[in-house]
Amino acid sequence: MINKAFNILNQKILIIIFSFCIFTVCFSIAAVYSNRIIFAETDKFEDMEIESVMRNYDNYNVAAYYPITKNRQVNRQIKDFIMSCVSQAENDARYYMPKSKDEKLNLLIEYNFERINKDIVSFVFVVCYTDNKSINRYDIASASYNLKSGKAVSMKSFFENSDYTAALCEKSKEYFLNNSSLDSKVSGYFIDDISNSGAGSFDGYSFSRDYLSIYFNSNKISSKYQQIIEVQIPWSSLKHLLKKNIYLPESSYEAAAEVFTSYDEESNLYFPAFNINVESDDKVIALTFDDGPHSVYTDRILKHLGKNNIVATFFVLGNRLNYSKDLLTRMVDLGCEIGNHSLSHKQLTAVSDKEIVNQIESVNNEVKNITGYSIRAVRPPYGASDKRVKKIINKPIVLWSIDPEDWKYRDPEIIKNHVLSRVGSGDIILLHDIYKSSADAAIMIIDELLSQGYKFLTVSQMLELEDESTNGIVFTHKK
């Protein structure tokens, strides 16, 4: 039954992805060929934002991320694709019968993007379904656009004639033949597949300034293989096949050294940046915001915190940090705390040890690189932790005592009333700074609690009052 539901789900999702790709191809046929394409260095994240869809129901979770570009037409196509995957998963979750109480269907959509100049951007989406412990299905969808015209860009836009497919097939086969780190069964499969189906064996492609990438999804061989293989083919090696209107970068590419904000390795500074005096009879509260930062709503919340000279804690997602560096800096300047909410909102109890480390460490490092401060508190996605997760995280796990389910009830009044009717000294309030209704509610909650004389603390300040700053504990509120 479960498998059957999954198969139906997979088929439908494949159809959605297929339609999306067909749509892209149709669009690109109409694309203008004569325009010049000039490869140019560009700030990858300029004019780019990230949006997310988060759901947390009894038998399924959704964490889907998608880009927001400066072109509305492109944004609409991408959002339609994401939402069709999400609503398909929601429909099919109705037929999903978990074997135990803590088994859930998970839909995770992540993406990466590359650009060859300010206008031409390639997106690669990875759609991943799991039913708790095992990964059932990975799919890839890719699309490239000209953000100026809103039109799709295909491989054809770059090549003089159709010879290029044979060249790309040859280079891909070469990669599989020579890459000894790949499973030999996987390599063998793709070598045969490319020989038989040519470019039909490509599962996606993207363009960056320096190379054309072709993606192969090993999951289509068997669910045992969960790797997406990216074959990077330098444009310089395809020069003879390119159109005359293609202008490759002048100099050969050299990887720019990563520039990090300098911080003193020896003196470990921890969040928050400054302390607040608390008397024993003070009423205290900690506001916490998950799943952000968000360029609009986090900004509004920070402005309101700053205006009132109070602090909150932001449990950030690692995959949003490149879009939000200035927001993180502002959090530090206000004395707020930044906590770790994982890289991409995976349910940590359902992934391998190695993946837990990746989901947590990458955020610790990135936040430290951007702000100079070290993360002290972790809030695992869905609040889900067990002995293994706690041991690997090895930091205090901070949950909450008041949850208005603001991701579900998108009404500031309902959210505000839920919180204010329950709140007491020592509570930790859970909100999400990615919704307008939550930002509106937060502002009303702050005003009311200030008038009631509450002192606002970060979660680490609350932990200190409770003398509970031990690693691996689960903290929900000050008693």
Site residues (vs Zn ion, CB under 5 A): 290-291
- Residue 354 CB coordination number (10 Å): 9
Let me know if 108 is exposed, middle or buried by CB neighbors in 10 A (0-12, 13-18, 19+). Answer: buried
Residue 11: CB minimum distance to Zn ion, A: 30
DSSP bridge pairs for 125: 111, 141
| Identity of the residue, 193 or 291, whose beta carbon is nearer to Zn ion in the bound complex | 291
| Identity of the residue, 173 or 294, whose beta carbon is nearer to Zn ion in the bound complex | 294
SS3 content of the chain, % helix, strand, coil (to 5): 40, 25, 40
**Structural Rg of the chain based on CA atoms:** 24
Tokens of 195: 């020989």
- Residue 244 CB coordination number (10 Å): 7
| Identity of the residue, 290 or 299, whose beta carbon is nearer to Zn ion in the bound complex | 290
CA angle 341, 319, 108 (to 5 degrees): 80
| Identity of the residue, 220 or 345, whose beta carbon is nearer to Zn ion in the bound complex | 345
DSSP bridge pairs for 53: 64
The three-state secondary structure class of 454 is coil
Contact 301, 440 (CB under 8 A): no
Is cis: bond before 293, omega within 30 of 0?
A: yes
Q: Which residue is nearest to Zn ion (CB)?
A: 290
What are the CA-CA distances from residue 123 to residues 99, 138, 217, 316, 359 (Å)?
36, 16, 16, 23, 22
- The angle that helices 297-308 and 325-334 make with each other, rounded to 10 degrees, is 20
N-terminal to C-terminal alpha carbon distance within the chain: 46
Catalytic residue among 139, 290, 299, 406: 290
290 catalytic, yes or no? yes
Catalytic residue among 432, 433, 440, 477: 432
Dihedral angle, C-alpha 8, 9, 14, 17, nearest 10 °:
150
What are the CA-CA distances from residue 334 to residues 94, 273, 328, 337 (Å)?
45, 8, 10, 9
CA angle 470, 474, 475 (to 5 degrees): 90
Residue 398: CB minimum distance to Zn ion, A: 13
Residues in the chain: 479
Contact 144, 153 (CB under 8 A): yes
Residue 278: CB minimum distance to Zn ion, A: 28
d(CA 479, CA 477): 6
Q: In one letter, which amino acid is 161? A: N
CA 470, 471, 472, 476 torsion-angle sign = positive
| Identity of the residue, 119 or 433, whose beta carbon is nearer to Zn ion in the bound complex | 433
| Identity of the residue, 52 or 458, whose beta carbon is nearer to Zn ion in the bound complex | 52
Catalytic positions are 290, 432
